[in-house]
Amino acid sequence: MRVWRYLLLFASILTAADKPIVIAHRGGAALWPENTIAAFHHAVTLGVDMLEFDMNVTADNRIVIHHDSTVNSEVCRPSAGSQVKPGPIHLLTLNDILRFDCGSSERPNSPNYKTSPAQKMPTLDLFLSAVKASNLPLLGETKMPPAGTESVTPEKFVELIDTIVRKHNVEDRFILQSSDYRTTDAMKKRNPKIKICLLNARRFKPGYLELARRHGATHLMLRADDATADEIRQLQSAGIKILSGTANAVDQWKKYVELGMDGILTDDPLGLMQFLGRRIGK
């Protein structure tokens, strides 16, 4: 009987392994320079199921793709001969932003990582131009400036996003994610076609379903210790997709598969695809 239990457990894991989609976090930050066109192109070539990225607003109201609200000097450094200095993105113009090289820095402890010198911090407009032919779902996060330094309102941020998303006709596959629910609420009012993913939902544990309904969310991002497999199934039965926190190791991937997550977010989409037995490349 014990052998059969193990066989059934193994079979259930294999079945579940067909389920989670592979989400390239920042385009696959352990493989290519994060949040760059080179990274996103590589992720598309690998055959990932979804692209994840981060959005900030510059001083001249342009949306650029970068994880931090301040230019991360470990990721983006001034181009040769440039006098620009890293600082809060909301205080820099797009012209300032384009003077950074975001592709030359190394990434420690990432053996499969490749640099791509002279990569720039892309605008949302350029990013969508580069990836829209892939037809992949797009998971974009709003990065509001820190409290007390806000130079853009949530409504204006969402207006800028929505205008570009409509321009590229990707409303049906664009998912807006944020820990700042003011932006997701504003988008829900402005363009109901765009799906909503709530980050840091653990703050409201265990009232996830009520939270999702209150904000019109289609997705929640949860870590392994935020909910049980039964709780996740209940949310899924109510029509809510559950995405994982960022996971880059086999033990983490295994746990998320066992929990029945709909998608796994990772800096290493190649490793995750190999772990899941997915075909590499298109």
CB 168 within 8 A of CB 74: no
Q: Which CATH superfamily is domain 20-276 in?
A: Phosphatidylinositol (PI) phosphodiesterase (3.20.20.190)
Domain map of the chain by residue range? 20-276
Distance CA 116, CA 99 (A): 15
Angle at 261 between CA 182 and CA 276, to 5 degrees: 130
Mind listing the pLDDT tens digit for each residue in 104-114?
999 999 999 99
User: pLDDT higher for 167 or 2?
Assistant: 167
pLDDT of 18 reads: 59
Mind listing the pLDDT tens digit for each residue in 133-191?
999 999 999 998 877 776 899 999 999 999 999 999 999 999 999 999 999 999 999 99
pLDDT of 273 reads: 98
pLDDT of 151 reads: 81
